Chain A
Amino acid sequence: MSQLTVDTTATWKQRLKGRVPPHLDEEIDIFETQIAQKRQGKIDDKVFAETRLRRGVYGQRYDNGQRHDGTASRALEYPCGDLTKGPNTVWDAPGMLRIKIPFGAMNGEQMEVLADLAEEYSDGIAHVTTRQDIQLHFIHIDDTPDIMRRLAAVGITTQEACGNSVRNVTACPLAGVCRDEPFDVSPYAHAMTHFLLGHRDAQDFGRKFKIAFSGCEQHACGLANMHDLGVLAQVRATGNGTRSSERGFKVFVGGGLGPVPHQAKVLREFVREDELLPLAQAVCRVFGRLGEKRNRARARIKFLVAKLGIEEFTRLVDEELAVLPADERWTAYLDRLDVADEHPTRLGAALEPGPRPEGFAEWLGTNVQRQRQPGYVTTAVNLPLGDLTSTQLRALADTARRFNGGLVRNTVEQNIVLRNVSEADLPALYAELGAAGLGAPGASSLVDVTSCPGTDTCKLGISSSRGLAGELRKRIADSIRTAGVLADEAVKDLRIKVSGCFNSCGQHHVADIGFYGVSRKSDGRTMPHFQVILGGQWTENAGSYGLAVVAVPSKRIPEVVERIAGLFVAEREKGESFQQFIARVGKARIRQLLDDLTKLPTYLEDRTLYSDWGDPREYTLGDLGVGECAGEVVTAVEFGLSAAEREVFQGLLELDRGDAGTAASRAYAAMVQAARALITTENIDIGNEPDEIVGEFRTRFYDTEFFFDPYAGAKFANYLFRVHGDAETDSSEEAHRRIEEAQLFIEAAHACNQRISQVQAARVA
Chain B
Amino acid sequence: MAADLLDGEGAQTPNLDGLVKFDLKVLAADAAEVEAEEFIPVFHRWITERVLPELLIDVADYSHVHEGPGVLLVGHDAIYAYDLSRGEPGLLYSRRRETSPELEGIGTLERRIESLLASAFRACDLIEAEPELGGRVVFDRHRLELRVNDRLFPADEQTALTLASAFRRALAEAGVRDGDAPVEVKQIGEPRERLTLRTG
- Give B139-155 as 1s and 0s: 1 = Cβ < 8 Å from A's Cβ atoms: 00000000001111110
Contact B76 A138, beta carbon cutoff 8 Å: no
Contact B15 A8, beta carbon cutoff 8 Å: yes
Instruction: Give chain B interface residues in 147-189, CB to chain A under 8 Å.
Output: 149-154, 158-159
Tell which of B63-71, B110-118, B121-129 binds the partner: B63-71
User: How many chain B residues touch A (Cβ–Cβ < 8 Å)?
Assistant: 49
Determine whether A436 belongs to the interface, using a CB cutoff of 8 Å to chain B: yes
Contact A76 B60, beta carbon cutoff 8 Å: no
Determine whether A666 belongs to the interface, using a CB cutoff of 8 Å to chain B: no
- CB closest chain-A residue, reference B84: A389
Determine whether A216 belongs to the interface, using a CB cutoff of 8 Å to chain B: no
Q: Which of B12, B14, B44, B72 contacts A123 (CB 8 A)?
A: B72
- Note all chain A residues with C-beta closer than 8 A to B159: 6
Determine whether A391 belongs to the interface, using a CB cutoff of 8 Å to chain B: yes
Tell which of A27-35, A112-120, A685-693 binds the partner: A112-120
- Note all chain B residues with C-beta closer than 8 A to A11: 152
Complex: A11 Cα to B58 Cα, angstroms: 30
Contact B72 A614, beta carbon cutoff 8 Å: no
> 8 shortest A-B CB distances, which residue pairs?
A437-B66, A8-B18, A6-B14, A616-B41, A69-B48, A384-B64, A4-B12, A4-B14
Contacts A79-B76, A616-B41; A437 near B48 (Cβ below 8 A)? no
Determine whether B5 belongs to the interface, using a CB cutoff of 8 Å to chain A: no
Contact A473 B47, beta carbon cutoff 8 Å: no
Contact A140 B85, beta carbon cutoff 8 Å: no
Contact B79 A138, beta carbon cutoff 8 Å: yes
Contacts A78-B76, A616-B44; A3 near B62 (Cβ below 8 A)? no
- CB closest chain-A residue, reference B148: A120
Determine whether B55 belongs to the interface, using a CB cutoff of 8 Å to chain A: yes
Determine whether B108 belongs to the interface, using a CB cutoff of 8 Å to chain A: no
Complex: A12 Cα to B99 Cα, angstroms: 22
Contact A391 B67, beta carbon cutoff 8 Å: yes
Contact B96 A389, beta carbon cutoff 8 Å: no
Complex: A4 Cα to B161 Cα, angstroms: 12
Contact A138 B99, beta carbon cutoff 8 Å: no
Given A138-B74, A615-B44, list of 7 further CB < 8 A pairs? A5-B14, A76-B55, A79-B55, A125-B65, A391-B85, A614-B40, A616-B40
- Give A373-394 as 1s and 0s: 1 = Cβ < 8 Å from B's Cβ atoms: 0000000000011011101101
Complex: A2 Cα to B67 Cα, angstroms: 42
- Give A433-461 as 1s and 0s: 1 = Cβ < 8 Å from B's Cβ atoms: 00011100000000000000000110000
Contact A6 B67, beta carbon cutoff 8 Å: no
- Note all chain A residues with C-beta closer than 8 A to B68: 124-125, 387, 389
Complex: A112 Cα to B85 Cα, angstroms: 18
Give me the interface of B with A, judged by CB distance under 8 Å: 9-19, 21, 37, 40-41, 44, 47-48, 55, 57-62, 64-69, 72, 74, 76, 79, 85, 96-97, 99, 149-154, 158-159, 192, 194
- CB closest chain-B residue, reference A474: B64
Determine whether A617 belongs to the interface, using a CB cutoff of 8 Å to chain B: yes
Give me the interface of A with B, judged by CB distance under 8 Å: 1-6, 8-12, 15, 61-62, 67, 69-70, 74, 76-79, 92-94, 112, 116, 119-120, 123-125, 137-138, 140, 384-385, 387-389, 391-392, 394, 436-438, 456-457, 466-467, 470, 473, 614-617
Contact B60 A137, beta carbon cutoff 8 Å: yes
- Note all chain B residues with C-beta closer than 8 A to A94: 57-58, 74
Complex: A470 Cα to B85 Cα, angstroms: 20
CB distance from B170 to the nearest CB of A (A): 18
Q: Which of A4, A394, A467, A470 has the most CB of B within 10 A?
A: A4
The contact sample of 7 A-B pairs, CB cut-off 8 A, is: A8-B19, A69-B44, A77-B55, A437-B65, A437-B67, A456-B60, A470-B61
Contact B66 A123, beta carbon cutoff 8 Å: no
Q: Which of B19, B69, B158 has the most CB of A within 10 A?
A: B69
CB distance from A262 to the nearest CB of B (A): 34
- Note all chain A residues with C-beta closer than 8 A to B21: 120
- Note all chain A residues with C-beta closer than 8 A to B16: 6, 8
Contact B66 A119, beta carbon cutoff 8 Å: no
- Note all chain B residues with C-beta closer than 8 A to A467: 61
Contact A438 B9, beta carbon cutoff 8 Å: no
- Note all chain A residues with C-beta closer than 8 A to B14: 3-6
Complex: A124 Cα to B65 Cα, angstroms: 11
Contact A120 B149, beta carbon cutoff 8 Å: yes
Complex: A385 Cα to B61 Cα, angstroms: 11
Complex: A748 Cα to B62 Cα, angstroms: 53
CB distance from B42 to the nearest CB of A (A): 9
Complex: A1 Cα to B85 Cα, angstroms: 37
- Note all chain B residues with C-beta closer than 8 A to A387: 62, 64-65, 68
Contact B60 A119, beta carbon cutoff 8 Å: no
